[in-house]
């Protein structure tokens, strides 16, 4: 994060997202400002609030992808939520604070996994010792006579059998590490994870109750274990996981997760336009305006109670997005507008952009299909005129039906390659060339019939 300059962030985003330079510049600056905030003196650090962003543009132009790639790039905790989720059930919907809890839950799990990886080597060594205990049971207890103490007898046992047991154990260890025992079975007590799940459907603020009840009951009830006969490699994997779990310091994990969320968390609020009130003389839209008012304190900066402890939202970066084709950003309540000072409009995509999307990004659509067919031993080649034709058709269908941006390309590609993908395992042809004529022939009937294209493309 500290090494990434705004120009380098844009450069990285360019590898996956075509166009939208202004949006990339805005998020790059917002991200760099976070790093800058950490470098300033402490007395002013808390005063610098993140500059939240609204991305405005039709669906399928890269709004979500920009936010997702940004989070991956900086390894920041990232959570995507649809704002409309909070209006779904009558006037109540889901508790708005739940997005902070979900973000923290995800971060705790990620930090825990990293901590487990850090202790993996030690856990593996401990698992080997436990496995040797299973393969080589300890000698049966010696019934000592009158006048003999347990301590003396144990000493005798060690003295008599210690070296013998030790050499056998070392031989077994060597065989275990060389994989010579992989086909042997051991009896292992495995934790039974089939616990009844109780879901609580209720009003705002009660979701946390379900989680806490589960934790509370889990601590009161005895752990269910069942004995299973499993092969040594699987048993080693289970034992390593158990040992790693025990070695992880959960207090440290939670502390680190809360700090990470507070300092570098990113929440992507999709479909923010769906909670904007619409002018229409029907009186106030209680549900939508209610959601905006609930969002306000969290975006502004407040403390949210979670099962891991309080989380401050003052420095979480909020990126909102919406198509705003029915309403406009000024239809949001003024207080919320003020919390999103940076507004960026994303452009609609045309033929040129579609051509680049098909070929340029690292995860380009054509590269994906090439990789899929290579698994069947088939090389598929797309000629330049085929790429141009697909892009032209995508632009045309978007203009005639609904503009869903680059997502139209997915539909067209599936329709175009349906026969090839279906027959791939049985075909003897190892090289397939797709040119402009092939694209036109395959999609001509569907495109010409407007009613059909509405349903299929």
pLDDT in tens, 356-396: 999 999 889 999 999 999 999 999 999 999 999 999 999 99
| Residue 92: exposure state from Cβ atoms within 10 A (0-12, 13-18, ≥19) | middle
Per-residue model confidence as pLDDT tens digits over 245-291: 889 999 999 999 999 999 889 999 998 888 886 654 454 555 678 88
Distance CA 340, CA 336 (A): 7
In this predicted structure, the answer to whether residue 31 has a pLDDT above a threshold of 70 is yes
Q: Band of the pLDDT at 83, cuts 50, 70, 90?
A: confident
Same domain, 171 and 268: no
What pTM, to 2 d.p., does this model score?
0.78
Predicted pLDDT at 202: 44
Q: Band of the pLDDT at 417, cuts 50, 70, 90?
A: very high
Predicted pLDDT at 60: 87
Same domain, 160 and 223: yes
Same domain, 238 and 175: yes
Same domain, 361 and 439: yes
Same domain, 366 and 317: no
In this predicted structure, the answer to whether residue 157 has a pLDDT above a threshold of 60 is no
Same domain, 270 and 227: no
Q: Does 213 reside within a domain?
A: yes
Report the relative pairing of strands 78-82 and 342-345 from DSSP bridges.
Answer: unpaired
Per-residue model confidence as pLDDT tens digits over 217-244: 555 555 677 788 888 888 888 899 888 9
Per-residue model confidence as pLDDT tens digits over 102-152: 999 999 999 999 999 999 989 988 888 888 888 876 655 444 444 444 444
Say what percent of the chain tops pLDDT 70. Answer: 82
CATH code, 85: 3.40.50.300
Same domain, 386 and 288: no
Same domain, 267 and 313: yes
Predicted pLDDT at 203: 46
Most trustworthy range by pLDDT among 158-162, 212-216, 329-333: 329-333
Same domain, 282 and 356: no
Domain containing residue 381: 351-456
Q: Which of 247, 278, 309 is the last residue in one of the domains?
A: 247
Say what percent of the chain tops pLDDT 90. Answer: 34
Mean pLDDT to the nearest integer, 88-101: 71
In this predicted structure, the answer to whether residue 435 has a pLDDT above a threshold of 80 is yes
Q: Alpha-carbon dihedral of residues 87, 89, 94, 95, nearest 10 degrees?
A: 90
Same domain, 96 and 129: no
Same domain, 323 and 382: no
Distance CA 370, CA 382 (A): 9
Q: Does 34 reside within a domain?
A: yes
In this predicted structure, the answer to whether residue 208 has a pLDDT above a threshold of 90 is no
Same domain, 198 and 280: no
Q: Which of 219, 247, 275 is the last residue in one of the domains?
A: 247
Q: Band of the pLDDT at 189, cuts 50, 70, 90?
A: confident
**What are the respective helix, strand and coil percentages of the chain, to the nearest 5?**
60, 10, 30
Number of domains in the chain: 3
Q: Does 414 reside within a domain?
A: yes
Q: Which of 316, 345, 374 is the last residue in one of the domains?
A: 345
Residue 232: which of 162, 275, 175 has the closest Cα? 175
Q: Does 1 reside within a domain?
A: no
């Amino acid at each position: 994060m500290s090494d990434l300059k705004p120009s380098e962030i844009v450069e990285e985003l360019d590898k996956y997202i075509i166009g939208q330079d202004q949006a990339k510049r805005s998020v790059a600056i917002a991200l760099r400002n976070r790093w800058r905030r950490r470098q300033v003196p402490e007395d002013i650090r808390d005063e610098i609030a993140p500059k939240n962003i609204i991305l405005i543009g039709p669906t399928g132009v890269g709004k979500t992808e920009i936010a997702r790639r940004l989070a991956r790039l900086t390894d920041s905790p990232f959570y995507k939520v649809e704002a409309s989720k909070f209006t779904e059930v009558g006037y109540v919907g889901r508790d708005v604070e739940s997005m902070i809890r979900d973000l923290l839950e995800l971060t705790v799990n990620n930090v825990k996994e990293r901590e487990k990886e850090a202790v993996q080597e030690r856990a593996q060594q401990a698992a080997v010792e436990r496995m040797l205990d299973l393969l080589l049971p300890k000698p049966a207890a010696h019934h000592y006579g009158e006048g003999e103490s347990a301590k003396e007898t144990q000493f005798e046992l060690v003295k008599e059998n210690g070296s013998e047991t030790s050499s056998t154990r070392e031989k077994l260890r060597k065989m275990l590490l060389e994989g010579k025992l992989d086909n042997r079975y051991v009896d292992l007590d495995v934790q039974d994870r089939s616990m009844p799940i109780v879901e609580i459907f209720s009003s705002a603020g009660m979701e946390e109750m379900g989680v806490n009840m589960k934790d509370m009951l889990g601590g009161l009830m005895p752990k269910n274990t069942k004995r299973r006969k499993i092969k040594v490699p699987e048993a080693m994997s289970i034992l390593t996981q158990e040992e790693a779990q025990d070695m992880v310091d959960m207090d440290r994990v939670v502390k680190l997760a809360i700090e990470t969320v507070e300092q570098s968390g990113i929440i992507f609020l999709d479909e923010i336009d769906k909670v904007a009130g619409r002018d229409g003389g029907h009186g106030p839209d209680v549900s939508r305006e209610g959601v905006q008012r609930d969002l306000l304190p969290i975006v502004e900066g407040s403390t949210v109670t979670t099962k891991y402890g309080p989380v401050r939202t003052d420095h979480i970066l909020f990126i909102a997005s919406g198509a705003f084709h029915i309403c406009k950003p000024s239809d949001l309540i003024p207080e919320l507008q003020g919390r999103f000072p940076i507004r960026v409009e994303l452009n609609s995509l045309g033929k040129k952009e579609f051509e680049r999307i098909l070929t340029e990004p690292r995860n380009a659509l054509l590269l994906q299909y090439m990789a899929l067919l290579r698994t069947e031993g088939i090389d598929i080649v797309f000629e330049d005129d085929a790429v141009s034709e697909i892009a032209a058709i995508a632009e045309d269908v978007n203009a005639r039906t609904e503009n869903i941006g680059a997502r139209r390309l997915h539909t067209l590609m599936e329709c175009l390659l349906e026969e090839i993908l279906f027959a791939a395992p049985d075909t003897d042809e190892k090289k397939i060339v797709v040119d402009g004529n092939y694209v036109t022939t395959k999609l001509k009937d569907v495109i010409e019939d407007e009613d059909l294209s509405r349903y299929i493309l």
